[in-house]
Structure 1
Amino acid sequence: MANQSSASPILCASFNQDNSCFAIGTRDGFKIFDSSTGKLCYEKAIGAFSLVEMLFNSSLLAIVGAGEQPSLSPRRLCLFNTVTGAALRELNFLTSIVAVRMSRKRLVVILQDKAYIYDLNSLAILDTFDIVPNIKGLCAFSPSLDGCYLALPASTTKGSVLVYNVMELHSHCEIDAHRSPLAAIVLSSNGMYIATASEQGTIIRVHMVSQATKQSYSFRRGMSPSTIYTLSFGPSMHLPDILVATSSSGSVHVFRLGFILNQRSLRSSNLLGSLIPDSINDAFEADHHHVLHNAVPAGVKSYVVIRSVDKVVSTSITQSQASTSRACISIITYNGYFQEYSLSINDTNEASWGLEREFNLLTAIPDKLTDA
């Protein structure tokens, strides 16, 4: 995610594909941190970077300069090796690069009006296609080999999404998700689900990619407009348990997808529920969400991921079992901080939040000098 505010000390922030590490780009260079420990693993101080993308836990980075130094052009993509500290390959384009995504098989480069798909191993270009103007670099990507999709805005006037199959190299579908233009998109890591928010920011919708034009879940974030900065699904092999969002209000919103799926299954099993279309059923699903107010400063851009979701089963004296869902939520704020929250939700839908860690990303010092 690239930053659009020149006042922020962080220009970009991204987690790797399994959220085990994250990277930030600043006007001085870029840094890589371990998500679990907060340890600064690598840094390179050679100028301003607008995009830094990792490939899982490998030594390969895709980096793009912010254009503040002549040698760091925003039109040049550099594949960088953190072990050798040297560039492996450079790709040059006619216009600025606004987003980069990688899987073990594919490299995706997004310009303001065009998308390029490469084979990551050979860097042979596999496909290129025109896209609607996308200055903010809004896109989503699922790195799964079985469901490797790229999602991009399909319109500048409404909230429609183009879903492209990156492995098979063809358009999969187009989803009309909102009336207003899109502000945020995310795909689940397995490529099964896509969540969207519009510039209005009041409703968040979730679609199954395989049935994208037929079924959706709708969640109300609030009544007042707010900018949704990021959306993130919890890790799961099937339906993610939760979806989290951060907004310009400074709040963190968590929506219980697993709970909603169970409720919809119960409704479809009775006569009345089977007669009510999903678009009406969605109105019943709006309040199954939890909010942490003032988690980050209002108006400060933030990037959020759900690193883990676990279920803890406890047995009381009466031998009745109760389960609690516990989520680990990590947030990078563009004013330079990392925060980690724990969220626990019990069987009665009661939630409790806890701030587990917080530290300054800009002043972090590695255990030993790596490549500064």
Structure 2
Amino acid sequence: MANQSSRYPILCASFNQDNSGFAISTKDGFKIIDSNTGRLCYDRAVGAFIIVEMLYSSSLLAIVGAGEQPSLSPRRLCLFNTTTGAPLREMTFLTSILAVRLNRKRLVVVLQEKTYIYDSNSLSMLDTIDTVPNLKGLCAFSPSLEGCFLALPASTAKGAVLVYNVMELQLHCEIDAHRSPLAAIALSSNGKYIATASEQGTIIRVHLVSEATKSYSFRRGTCPSTIFSLSFAPSLQLPDILVATSSSGSVHIFSLGFETNQRTKMSGSFLGSILPYSVNDALDPAHHHVLHNAVSAGVRSYAVVRKVDKVADSSSSEIASCRSVLGCVLASELYLFIYFCVPFYLPYLYVRLPCPLPPFFYLLTSARS
């Protein structure tokens, strides 16, 4: 697979706003695939693209070329209709486009030192944000119209985050999350939480956006590692789930709701009585599950959660814990599609099975031992 994967390098991989579909681009074109079934929804072989962003499961795409052809400039954003196969609108910028985010009301275009906010319907410019040099195009976006926030790096020397309300077009807050520069940012879909990781990659912190206060501190590991992606599960009800991928090749799954329940138990223990909550969060492994070697070490990967099942405590009518997490992982250097299911607090066994998807897609399922 290593030799064949080099023939199909993935230039970009992105999930849509509700994780129901994802886009993959190679040097030959891009594909849209259903996350639930693995069905190929759209395929266009027109050249290389570095950005392919979906608007939920609609026919609208925001695409940016990789520059390998004169007509596919990395400075040109094209809003594309997959139904008609024709561009709806093109916008050209002075420098390369590093990231694009959108929902039904707003379109965000991230450049190295500027970020533009547009109305998604009229495409009129609403605001311009001057930023620190953002060479990686780091940004996070919560698509919910009620809590529609945009997060951008606020410093190149430390892990500070600027949180901007794109509906009200004003700065919401600035959060000092890490001592080292940022490597990854994620906002929950409802805009309630923001997760950050620094270039050190050992600690992942989660802040409550409304109050700009730290809520959780999760230890990914003790050795430095590059965090490739952070993603929250759908936050319609507790517990909230956060997943992370890193250069170690493992997928890390953190349960925010379960961790909250454990604080009460921890505070009653001897260790909990002498350690502050911030230390407890980093030390307690009960809410942290790892899928080891999910992807080859060093391969850039992206993980999302599609579904979270809950179980009720037999002694109470309230939901007590998370039973399983169903999600998928994309690896950027080969067509690798992994489905994972983690039965929390139960033994589990992972089995690789072939799946009838485009070349080099694989399905990872789990079964209780």
TM range (shorter): 0.7 to 0.9
Partner of 1:92: 92
Deviation at 1:325, TM superposition (A): 1.1
Given candidates 341, 359, 369, the residue that maps to 1:363 is 359
Number of the residue aligned with 1:10:
10
After TM superposition, the score normalised by the length of structure 1 is 0.87
Give the alignment's TM-score, normalised by structure 2: 0.88
Q: Residue 11 of structure 2: SS of its match in structure 1?
A: strand
Q: Report 1:98-247 matches (<5 A).
A: 98-212=98-212, 214-247=213-246
Matched residue of 2:144: which SS? coil
Shift, 1:362, TM fit:
5.3
| Counterpart-to-counterpart distance in 2, 1:32 and 1:66 | 18
**Please, which of 326, 329, 345 is the counterpart of residue 328 of structure 1?**
326
1:150: Cα distance to partner?
0.5
Q: How far apart in 1 are the matches of 2:351 and 2:132?
A: 40
Contact 2:310 2:324 in 1 (8 A): yes
Cα displacement string for residues 173-229 of structure 1 (whole angstroms, at most 9, x for unaligned residues): 1111111111111100000001111111000111110121x3331011111001111
Provide the residue aligned with 2:364 in structure 1.
Answer: none
For residue 22 of structure 1, give the secondary structure of its aligned residue in structure 2.
strand
Q: Which runs of 5+ in 1 are unaligned?
A: 1-5, 316-320, 366-372
Counterpart contact for 2:184–2:196, Cα < 8 Å = yes
Q: Which residue of 2 aligns with 1:352?
A: 348
Distance 2:25 2:298 in 1: 20
Change (3 A) 1:39 1:323: same
Q: Are residues 325 and 46 of structure 1, via their aligned partners in 2, closer, same or farther at CA, if it must alter by over 3 Å? A: same
| 8 Å contact from structure 2 (residues 187, 194) kept in 1 | yes
Structure 2 CA distance for partners of 1:149 and 1:361, relative to 1, 3 Å: farther
Structure 1 CA distance, aligned partners of 2:320 and 2:50?
46
Distance 1:325 1:351 in 2: 12
> Would the aligned equivalents of 1:80 and 1:88 in 2 still touch at CA under 8 Å?
yes
In structure 2, do the counterparts of structure 1 residues 324 and 207 end up closer, same or farther at CA, with 3 Å as the change threshold?
closer
Contact 2:258/2:321 (CA < 8 Å) preserved in 1? Answer: no
Change in Cα spacing, 1:257 to 1:322, as seen in structure 2 (3 Å) is closer
Deviations 1:101-150 (A, max 9, x none): 00110000000110000000000100001111111111110000100001
Question: 2:259 — aligned with what?
Answer: 260
Output the CA distance in 2 between the equivalents of 1:162 and 1:302: 25
The alignment partner of 2:294 has SS state of coil
Report the AA paired with residue 233 of structure 2.
Answer: G
Preserved contact between residue 199 and residue 226 of structure 2 (Cα < 8 Å): yes
1:75 aligns with 2:41: no
SS at 2:229 equivalent: strand
Aligned partners of 2:33 and 2:42 also within 8 Å: yes
Q: Give the match for residue 3 of structure 1.
A: none
Contact 1:340/1:355 (<8 A) preserved:
no
State whether structure 2 residue 55 is matched by structure 1 residue 55. Answer: yes
1:298 aligns with 2:294: no
- Amino acid of the residue matched to residue 290 of structure 1? H
**Preserved CA contact (<8 Å) 1:219 1:287:** no
Q: Provide the rounded CA distance (Å) in 2 between the counterparts of 1:322 and 1:287.
A: 14
Distance 1:201 1:43, change over 3 A: same
Distance 2:256 2:231 in 1: 12
Partner SS, residue 278 of structure 2: helix
CA distance in 2, matches of 1:45, 1:130: 36
Deviation at 1:363, TM superposition (A): 2.9
The Cα shift of 1:241 comes to: 2.6
Q: CA contact under 8 A between 1:312 and 1:326: conserved in structure 2?
A: no
Query: C-alpha displacement at 1:76, in angstroms?
Result: 0.3
How many residues align structurally? Answer: 350
CA RMSD of aligned residues (A): 2.7
Q: Secondary structure at the match of 2:259?
A: helix
